[in-house]
Amino acid sequence: MTPPAGKPAEIIEALQVLELPAEATLTQIRQSYRFLKDLYGGESIATLPVSGEISTKDRQQIIEKIDAAYEALIRFFEDERGRDLSVQRSAPDEIARYLADVEEITGAVLKTVRKMQGFVPEEVAAETRIPVLNLERIEQEDFAAFPPPVYTRGFVSGYADFLGLEADRASSDFMRRFNAWKENRGGGNPPHRFRLAFWKKKK
Amino acid sequence: MVRMKVAGEMSYEAFAAENPASGAAPAPKQIRPAPDRRTKETKIWAVGGGKGGIGKSFIISSVAQCLARKGHRIVLLDADLGGANLHTFFGVDRPRTTLTEFFERQIPLSSLVCETGVPNLGLLIGALDTLAADHIRYSQKMKLFRHIRTLPADYVLIDIGAGTHFHTVDSFLLADTLIAAVVPELISVENLYYFLKSVFYRKLLRAMSENGWKTIIFETWKNRRNLGIRNVKELTDYLRTQSGEISGVIDEALSDFLFHIVVNKVRRRQEIKVGLGVKSICMKYFGLDARYAGYIEHDELVSRSINKRQPYLQTHTGSRCSGQIEVVAENLLQQKAFG
């Protein structure tokens, strides 16, 4: 195994702690970190059968190792990109507490969770292939500017999935609000600014 | 996880060395087959998982079809000696030749392979009428294992059946690619851990026995409470401290030891992650290398196909489930992780 150029051995090691290959992206690192913190911080069918095999202290050590690896990786990427990535980063349990009080997944909720996880829209766009413009429209619930519902639904579920939320719940919550908005303005699909803009440009 | 390596293989010499009663002369300790000696020979894959009914046979028979479609010559071996049923997946009716002929009448394995109706895919059926499967002699089993590698195939895929009996574990350890099947249910995960630990313990026991340290591992495990050993990782950690030689043997036994986890019967999106969780526990708690090969979602039509005795992959070619099986097969072939 040869580490790819530009990645020191301790970074490769940190990636191994997060169970990631050497070429892992920042997004993968964040997702894996969140997943492992949830896994070792809580109880699930993967951890329950072995809960008696390991002491609380050892488990704590694993969590500390995961934290340290993540910190090292974030620092590495910060140096590489020359940008502070950790400003708005919140701990996974803080996000879980926030989500526990959420009754309906709205654009604002998606935005809050994204910020708590410390992502900028460009990073989400790079991973999900949802254009930044549409991510912003979803967050602001700019219903009039949405692409046709079939796309909107796909975008919302893709975005929610990226954030680690329940994609089906997010898209149904969101579409319910979208439909309520349509009813209020007299039914029917919104005039497609999306499509009109396209034709206008052609002219 | 990024290490690419040839999966573990247990040579016949190693088997014989462990049990001289098998009739063969014990092989000298220092002679071990070179890892790449077998690259051109038949590769063996096996699926296990401890619990019954989690779809081991479905997974292995479907993966076999995927490989056969790619043009590899496959022999599917039903090593569930007491409960063979792989033939049912292909609608093979009352097979005339089974492993019984091999055990009782010394007929060569290659002439016992039945056709499945799928090109490139042959089937070797477990002993249907051997009522006392547990009483298959050790020497018989060793003979079977020895002959498997001589089958005219690129891959031999073994369905080892449920349980953690040492017969089952031995068949599993025979493979170069170890596939661990699990469904997203607590009981299945629990049984998978038991199974993986048994497999690992048996592998370790063999490696230690080859060097004449069988009693060390027995005694250590017996005294585990006094030594404060709670899991297999602590066992290996303790054994490593005993001597540099032991540490070397453990390293060697572990170096080519890798599980490929397949999650079957996924019903909800969140359950896909069970594979990642199980992989993580294997690595961090048990100190075993594992890789998540992929998941297969639950499809009602699978059991319907089996009941109709039609291979699911042939009758439901374009389904999501079929696509996921193909991803699993490809990941196993490339020794790659899912995602």
Pair B139, B145: CB distance under 8 Å: no
* Model confidence band, residue A7 (pLDDT cutoffs 50, 70, 90): confident
Looking at residue B229, its pLDDT comes to 84
> By CB neighbour count within 10 A (0-12 exposed, 13-18 middle, 19+ buried), where does B77 fall?
buried
Check pLDDT > 80 for residue A190. Answer: no
Radius of gyration of chain B (CA): 20
Mean pLDDT of B21-46: 54
> By CB neighbour count within 10 A (0-12 exposed, 13-18 middle, 19+ buried), where does A3 fall?
middle
Helix A26-41 / helix A92-100 crossing angle, nearest 10 deg = 70
Question: How close is the nearest chain A Cα to the Cα of B151, in Å?
Answer: 33
Check pLDDT > 50 for residue B268. Answer: yes
ipTM of predicted complex: 0.76
> Which of B10-19, B59-68, B127-136, B245-254 reaches the highest mean pLDDT?
B59-68
Q: Do A39 and B280 touch (CB under 8 A)?
A: yes
- Residue B118 backbone dihedrals phi, psi, to 5 degrees: -100, 125
Contacts of A11 in chain B (CB under 8 A): none
Pair B338, B293: CB distance under 8 Å: yes
Q: Comparing A164-168, A191-195, B314-318, which segment has the lowest mean pLDDT?
A: A191-195
Q: Do A50 and B281 touch (CB under 8 A)?
A: yes
Pick from A19, A56, A166, A169 the residue to mutate for testing the B interface (most B CBs within 10 Å).
A19
Check pLDDT > 50 for residue A3. Answer: no
Which residue's structure tokens are 């993966």? Answer: B63
Contacts of A167 in chain B (CB under 8 A): 269
Pair B113, B125: CB distance under 8 Å: no
For chain B, give the longest Cα–Cα distance.
58
Check pLDDT > 50 for residue A183. Answer: yes
- Domain residue extents for chain A: 9-85, 93-187
pLDDT digits (tens, 9 = 90+) for A90-129: 666 778 788 888 888 899 999 998 888 778 888 888 878 8
Q: For chain B, give the mean pLDDT.
A: 82
Mean pLDDT of A159-187: 85
Residue of B5 and B134 predicted with greater confidence: B134
Residue of A135 and B15 predicted with greater confidence: A135
For residue B176, give every residue at least 6 positions away whose Cβ sits within 8 Å of its Cβ, in sequence order, or none: B6, B7, B8, B9, B38, B43, B44, B45
Contacts of A49 in chain B (CB under 8 A): 186, 189-190, 193
CA distances, B65 to each of B59, B117, B299 (Å): 10, 11, 18
Check pLDDT > 50 for residue B26. Answer: no
Looking at residue B9, its pLDDT comes to 42
Distance CA B290, CA B260 (A): 6
Q: Do B1 and A48 touch (CB under 8 A)?
A: no
Check pLDDT > 70 for residue B194. Answer: yes
What residues in chain B have their Cβ under 8 A from chain A's Cβ atoms? Answer: 1-4, 184-186, 189-190, 193, 230-231, 269-270, 273-274, 276-281, 283-285, 337
CA distances, A200 to each of A30, A193, A194 (Å): 41, 10, 10
Mean pLDDT of A184-200: 59
Could you tell me the two tokens for B116?
Answer: 């499945």
Q: For chain A, give the mean pLDDT.
A: 81
* Model confidence band, residue B80 (pLDDT cutoffs 50, 70, 90): confident
Distance CA B69, CA B64 (A): 9
Looking at residue A82, its pLDDT comes to 65
Please name the residue of chain A whose CA is at the shortest distance from the CA of residue B275: A46
Q: Comparing A72-86, B20-34, B220-234, which segment has the lowest mean pLDDT?
A: B20-34
Please name the residue of chain B whose CA is at the shortest distance from the CA of residue A20: B1
Residue B239: what residue type?
A: L
CA A134 to chain centre: 16
- Residue B268 backbone dihedrals phi, psi, to 5 degrees: -130, 155
For residue B131, give every residue at least 6 positions away whose Cβ sits within 8 Å of its Cβ, in sequence order, or none: none
Looking at residue B260, its pLDDT comes to 95
Contacts of B284 in chain A (CB under 8 A): 40, 62
Q: Which fold has domain A9-85?
A: Helix Hairpins (1.10.287)
Residue among B4, B279, B281 whose CB faces A47 most closely: B281
Contacts of A54 in chain B (CB under 8 A): 230-231, 285
Mean pLDDT of B172-180: 90
Check pLDDT > 90 for residue B22. Answer: no
Check pLDDT > 50 for residue B30. Answer: no
Please name the residue of chain A whose CA is at the shortest distance from the CA of residue B274: A46
Looking at residue B13, its pLDDT comes to 47
pLDDT digits (tens, 9 = 90+) for B107-135: 888 888 888 888 999 998 876 565 555 56
Distance CA B87, CA B77 (A): 10
Radius of gyration of chain A (CA): 20
Looking at residue B169, its pLDDT comes to 86
Residue of A49 and B41 predicted with greater confidence: A49
Domains recognised in chain B with CATH numbers: 40-184+263-279+289-334 (3.40.50.300)
Beta strands in chain A (DSSP E): none
Could you tell me the two tokens for A175?
Answer: 């579409």
Looking at residue A65, its pLDDT comes to 94
Question: How close is the nearest chain B Cα to the Cα of A178, in Å?
Answer: 24
For residue B41, give every residue at least 6 positions away whose Cβ sits within 8 Å of its Cβ, in sequence order, or none: B149
For residue B90, give every residue at least 6 positions away whose Cβ sits within 8 Å of its Cβ, in sequence order, or none: B61, B116, B117, B118, B123, B309, B311
Residue among B3, B269, B277 whose CB faces A46 most closely: B277
For residue A97, give every residue at least 6 positions away whose Cβ sits within 8 Å of its Cβ, in sequence order, or none: none
What's domain A93-187's superfamily in CATH?
A: lambda repressor-like DNA-binding domains (1.10.260.40)
Distance CA B58, CA B75 (A): 15
Residue among B269, B284, B337 whose CB faces A62 most closely: B284
Q: Do B281 and A44 touch (CB under 8 A)?
A: no
Residue of B173 and A196 predicted with greater confidence: B173
Mean pLDDT of B192-208: 90
Nearest to B291 by CA among B264, B258, B326, B324: B258
What residues in chain A have their Cβ under 8 A from chain B's Cβ atoms? Answer: 1, 16, 19-22, 35-36, 39-40, 44-50, 52-55, 62, 161, 166-168
For chain B, give the percent of residues with pLDDT over 90: 31
Mean pLDDT of B184-189: 94
Check pLDDT > 80 for residue B282. Answer: yes
Distance CA A61, CA A71 (A): 15
* Model confidence band, residue A43 (pLDDT cutoffs 50, 70, 90): confident
Looking at residue B19, its pLDDT comes to 47
Looking at residue B3, its pLDDT comes to 43
Check pLDDT > 90 for residue B84. Answer: no
DSSP class of A13:
H
Question: How close is the nearest chain A Cα to the Cα of B174, in Å?
Answer: 26
Distance CA B222, CA A32 (A): 38
Residue among B193, B231, B280 whose CB faces A19 most closely: B280
Looking at residue A117, its pLDDT comes to 79
Check pLDDT > 60 for residue A194. Answer: no
Pair B76, B60: CB distance under 8 Å: yes
> Residue by residue, what is the 3-state secondary structure of chain B?
CCCCCCCCCCCHHHHHHHCHHHCCCCCCCCCCCCHHHHCCCCEEEEEECCCCCCCHHHHHHHHHHHHHHCCCCEEEEECCCCCCCHHHHCCCCCCCCCHHHHHHHCCCHHHHCEECCCCCEEEECCCCCCCCHHHCCHHHHHHHHHHHCCCCCCEEEEECCCCCCHHHHHHHHCCCEEEEEECCCHHHHHHHHHHHHHHHHHHHHHHHHHCCCHHHHHHHHHCHHHHCCCCHHHHHHHHHHHCHHHHHHHHHHHHCCEEEEEEEEECCHHHHHHHHHHHHHHHHCCCCEEEEEEEEECCHHHHHHHHCCCCHHHHCCCCHHHHHHHHHHHHHHHCCCCC
Pick from A7, A29, A50 the residue to mutate for testing the B interface (most B CBs within 10 Å).
A50
Could you tell me the two tokens for B187?
Answer: 């009981």
Could you tell me the two tokens for A150?
Answer: 């079939």
